[in-house]
Amino acid sequence: MTQSSTEHLSPFKKGIVGIQFLFVAFGATVLVPLLVGLDPSTALFTAGIGTLLFHLVTKGMVPIFLGSSFAFIAPIVKATELYGLSGALCGLVGVAIVYFFMSALVKWQGIKVINKLFPPIVIGPVIMLIGLSLASSGVDMAKSNWTIAIVSLVTAILVTMLGKGLLKLIPIFAGIVAGYVVAYFMGLIDFTLVREASWLGFPKFVTPTFSWQAILFMIPVAIAPVIEHIGDIYVVNTVTGKNFIENPGLHRTLLGDGIACAVAGLLGGPPVTTYSEVTGAMSLTKITSPTVIRVAAVTGIIFSVIGKISALLKTIPQAVLGGIMLLLFGTIAAAGIANLINNCVNMSNTRNIVISSLILTTGIGGAALNIGSFSLTGIGLSALIGVILNLILPHEKERANK
């Protein structure tokens, strides 16, 4: 099913699919604030608002959901120790500054600067790394109870392969429901949170306290999610068969993500980033309509102010989501392979082997660069290594002529 065909889904079907996409993003979106001492409902609210702002800036063309970024867990914890929680939230403005700078650079220099820094031999392995680096998280969630994880996974696969009509559109939702039902009969669901929650539970907004030190502290941290953002846009290009780098333009997607990060910090939520989980869900369901993503965003905002629903979503066992993630993260890695194939990258070329190998090994192996309070790890560091190698390694023809 192509994007053009999904645009003709009925409002009811778009609503169901949109809610499904929110479920995919829900676990990670509320986990980040829980780990850094922020309100999960606020994170859900700012994710919804941030996604809508992103779609406004990108002319409603790019099917991307913005959720809480894992890259900022450690920095927020450290910044909270140094400058207090309100100071750390102010520091998130520094994240937005980096996005704005990169957006202006792309607008000024055009797509050529991105093509030079991020050719297919860099982007393909980075996309693969996005999926592979998340694989351990999926396994960690699934292994808390393999029985219900496998039920969720198998149900999603069967619905994807054999489902008809509306069911065909919601394999992830079907997998979550199946896993949840099994977990209920195994006595693993605790409804205490639901009973105690009020029907209306507005997010707890926190007012940031201005701190230049916190802003400067956060600026280097933003390098990793900016690079990941570029990789995710290429993933979405592959999944949809469109080129959002050119239209509406990478400068718009970077600007939209930056504005969403700034708003999140000002309202007391964690920084947001492009969500690979939802992109994986689009690849699996073949539903790439931006309208459906906006439905997910609005649903997130609604859920953030309805206490009973937020509490009910929190009762979903990690293993249920873990089973689904095993499938979704694999589809991201597969999109990276597809990117290499579609761009006819010669993987028998020694130069290409060196670049792709080092991107994958440093990323999967957990290499880290620490200089004082500055730290660069994971996808950000691996992508930077790929960029540098691509710029300095001679092409084989050039080397042969020397």
Contact predicate 399/247, CB 8 Å: no
**CA–CA dist 245, 146 (Å, integer):** 40
Number of folded domains in the chain? 1
> Is 32 inside any structural domain?
yes
User: C-alpha angle 196/197/202, rounded to 5°?
Assistant: 155
- Report the sign of the C-alpha dihedral through residues 35, 209, 261, 254, in that order: negative
- Do the domain assignments include residue 349? no
Q: Is residue 353 part of a domain?
A: no
**Measured distance CA(193)–CA(354) in Å, rounded:** 51
Residue 393 inside a domain? The answer is no
Ranges under pLDDT 70 in the chain: 1-9, 27-28, 31, 34-35, 70-71, 73-74, 165-166, 169, 220-221, 223-224, 372-376, 396-402
- Structural tokens at position 200: 């209306």
- Residue 243, classified by CB atoms within 10 Å of its CB into exposed (0-12), middle (13-18) or buried (19+), is exposed
The reported pLDDT for the residue numbered 4 is 43
In a domain, 371, yes or no: no
Residue 113 within any structural domain of the chain: yes
- Please list the alpha-helical segments (H only) found in 119-271: 120-142, 146-162, 165-169, 171-185, 192-196, 212-218, 223-240, 250-267
* Contact predicate 74/199, CB 8 Å: no
**Contact status, residue 47 vs residue 67, Cβ threshold 8 Å:** yes
Specify the pLDDT at position 343. Answer: 84
Is residue 381 a part of any domain in this protein?
no
pLDDT score, position 399: 47
pLDDT computed for residue 31 by the predictor: 66
Q: β-strands 368-371, 374-377: how paired?
A: antiparallel
Bridge partners, residue 155, by sequence? none
Q: Look at residue 7 in the predicted model and tell me its pLDDT.
A: 56
Residue 8: the pLDDT is 64
For 376, the 3-state DSSP assignment is strand
Report yes or no: 323 and 150 within 8 Å, Cβ to Cβ.
yes
Domain that holds residue 332: 3-344
Q: Evaluate whether residue 396 is within a structural domain.
A: no
